Structure 1
Amino acid sequence: MFYKSEIIMKRSLPFFFLLLMALPMWASHPVCVSNRAAEGASGAMVFNQKNKAKSRIHAPKGYKITAPKGYKLVWHDEFSGTALGKDWMHELKPAGWVNQELQTYVNDGKVTQVYDGTLKINLRQEGDRFLSGRVYAKRHSGWQYGYIEARIKLPEGRGTWPAFWMMPVKDGPWPGNGEIDIMEAVGHTPNVIYSTIHCNKYNNGGTPIEHGYVTIEQAADFHVYAMEWTAHEMTFYVDGQKILSYQNDGTGRDSWPFDQPFYIILNLAWGGQWGGQKGVDNSLLPLTMEVDYVRVFQKR
């Protein structure tokens, strides 16, 4: 889940996926749109400098993280403290910023909370406003290549639009600079998980492309969403099962702008052109997207 919001919308219509599936597909399905969003004057990003002393990104003592074969752990957050650490930033943006989404992204101490070993991104209603959270990890440095995974419990209900995705550290025109959507889901298609690649060759411009999705048991339970990214290929997994593979075809940046560092984004949107395609159910609020951990491994 586009540099100027007035020019390019996050997840604009018409929208398409680039997905190659190893599992059967439905006969009909909703389409996935871009997560790309502007960083303009209408909002701001803020570093999480408060409560740095309380933040613990490391796993509890005695806890062992197993790296995929051939990889080593280079960064992680197990959310075992009481606040987000210094590697995280909040996005602050108003409702309607892009894609007609209803939420306002804030940092008020309630939309993102860390306790009991998980990060909670909370969506709530206050009067006629819907408040939610969008956070970035390593916004100004990111990672180039690796095995990137998060264990996430998704909210249920019509109107939800959670995402775990990546954007390039170096700003540039969208979609030419690339976008990687490791996981997206919308409440009106429960238990369906989408992974998407955006670039000049495959984007929301109306060109027919390959698309697909995977249906899982109980997305409202914890599941592991992951991507292995090399100079030649990106492969996406849900609970260790491959659902998408995209190769570098060697034709240049129109099809492979993924030769640069990208940073991680976690957010919970409400409504919008895709999440609100079949309306929203405000009676469900508040809702929470819960993240057990985020880990980045790179080749040894």
Structure 2
Amino acid sequence: MKKLLLLVATLTFTLGMSAIVMADTPSNIDYKNMHIVWSDEFNGNALNQDYWEYQTGDGSQYGIPGWGNNEKQWYRAQNVTVGDGMLSITAKNENIAGKKYTSGRIRTWDGDNNKAKVSVGLGYVEARMKIPSAQGIWPAFWMLGNNGKTWPACGEIDIEESFNIASYAQGTIHFPSPTGADVYKYSQTNPEGYDKTGWNTYGVYRNGEELSFYLNGKEYGYFKTTDVGDGDRSVLNDDYHILLNFAVGGNLAGGEPPSGTLPLTMNVDYVRYYQDGAPAPTVKPTVKPTTVSKPAKAKIKSLKYKKKRKLIVKLKKIKGVAGYQVRWCDSKSFDGYEQKNTKKVKLTIKGLDKNTKYWVKARAYKKVNGAKLYGKWSAKKSKKVKK
């Protein structure tokens, strides 16, 4: 596997709020327009403890027995290994301290000094992973906030949670309600050809106003990180630290693994943190850049319900565009939306939930040097799906 040189080499990394705030999260990750601020490529034969800290035990020493999720394993440093260019966390059948299973958990946090070893702010965080599939397991790649508050006031971003034999990818956000209780929202995707037991990339992009989840560089989940009245979403814009763990059992694992299931291993090729903007070129460009105007604002001419839980969207044709992007959601704020690009001005949205009201909006795009240049969103239209 091709590995990158580490770009930052200090003991403690504070890579916080310096990213430029974007107007919208991208539909597809464009690595050419970002640069790596920090990464661990897991070269060598040992975990880099300048970046990572082991968390061991059953959570009791952190005040959260069962790690707050009724997990059944005892975490040990021995279950976390580095070799062959990857990190491996292995869950095993081993009896320790009254637990029937052992596994591993690491984080980019310094517990002794109560500060982050690696702190990530706005931008894009991604890991390339292979995840096992079996009843009773719960591997995860996620982040917790660094604001010093207790959960859920610190905020939590679950970039990929893989429950038991579930075939989909899932990203989840947690933030405090006005009363301090946990509010969580999630998005799932299971595109054709996706197999979590093979190599895939999982990522999250934050720009200070929005947050999107990505599978193999393609956006599948979107949430606002500004106030929509359901709690303090602003914590989702704070600096965070990264966690990787492989739980056995727990509230979402579907019970414990059947006999003979373990050992199983979660592999991680790399973890990378990007910010927007390509690295400064060493040679000044000699070609004058071409200026291309954005497409005109899109307009939805009609939105109609059709039998068998379908909606028909008709758009006003815009001259000189390559296509249109249509988004729909059962939330007016478009939390957890779905979307589709089309070259036509008519789109049929299928597989909707019955007796549910949906909001739809659209925007046009041009293609410039292989990238999409989007116009403004249309006004929202809504329609209820019946039987």
Q: TM-score, normalised by structure 1?
A: 0.71
Structure 1 residues 86-111: Cα deviation after superposition (integer angstroms, max 9, x where no partner): 21110012273432211111113xx0
Aligned residue number for residue 158 of structure 2? 181
Q: Aligned in 2, Cα 1:88/1:206: closer, same or farther, shift over 3 Å?
A: closer
Residue of 34, 38, 44 corresponding to 1:81: 44
Q: Any unmatched runs of 5+ in structure 1?
A: 1-57
Q: What is the number of equivalent residue pairs in this alignment?
A: 234
Amino acid at match of 1:280: P
CA contact (8 A) 1:175 1:203 kept: no
| Cα drift, residue 246 of structure 1 | 0.9
| Cα drift, residue 260 of structure 1 | 2.0
Matches within 5 A, 1:1-300: 59=4, 68-85=31-48, 86-94=50-58, 96-108=66-78, 111-127=79-95, 129-139=100-110, 140-141=115-116, 142-189=119-166, 191-201=167-177, 211-216=186-191, 217-250=194-227, 254-275=232-253, 277-300=254-277
3-state secondary structure, aligned to 1:199:
strand
Structure 1 residues 155-183: Cα deviation after superposition (integer angstroms, max 9, x where no partner): 11101101100001232132222110110
Amino acid at match of 1:118: M
Amino acid at match of 2:266: M
Q: Aligned in 2, Cα 1:112/1:239: closer, same or farther, shift over 3 Å?
A: same
Q: Any unmatched runs of 5+ in structure 2?
A: 7-28, 60-65, 278-387
3-state secondary structure, aligned to 1:258:
helix
Structure 1 residues 29-72: Cα deviation after superposition (integer angstroms, max 9, x where no partner): xxxxxxxxxxxxxxxxxxxxxxxxxxxxx7379xxxx9724321
CA contact (8 A) 1:67 1:73 kept: no
Q: Aligned in 2, Cα 1:120/1:136: closer, same or farther, shift over 3 Å?
A: same
Q: Distance in 1 between matches of 2:67 and 2:120?
A: 27
Q: Distance in 2 between matches of 1:124 and 1:292?
A: 21
| Cα drift, residue 122 of structure 1 | 0.7
Please report the RMSD computed on the Cα atoms of aligned residues, expressed in angstroms.
2.7
Q: Distance in 2 between matches of 1:60 and 1:255?
A: 35
3-state secondary structure, aligned to 2:226:
coil
Q: Aligned in 2, Cα 1:159/1:255: closer, same or farther, shift over 3 Å?
A: same
Higher RCO by CA contacts (8 Å cutoff, separation 6 or greater): 1
CA contact (8 A) 2:76 2:104 kept: yes
Give identity over the alignment, percent: 32
Q: Distance in 2 between matches of 1:212 and 1:251?
A: 18
Q: Aligned in 2, Cα 1:202/1:91: closer, same or farther, shift over 3 Å?
A: farther
Amino acid at match of 1:197: I
Q: Kindly indicate which of the two structures has a greater share of residues assigned to strand.
A: 2
Q: TM-score, normalised by structure 2?
A: 0.56
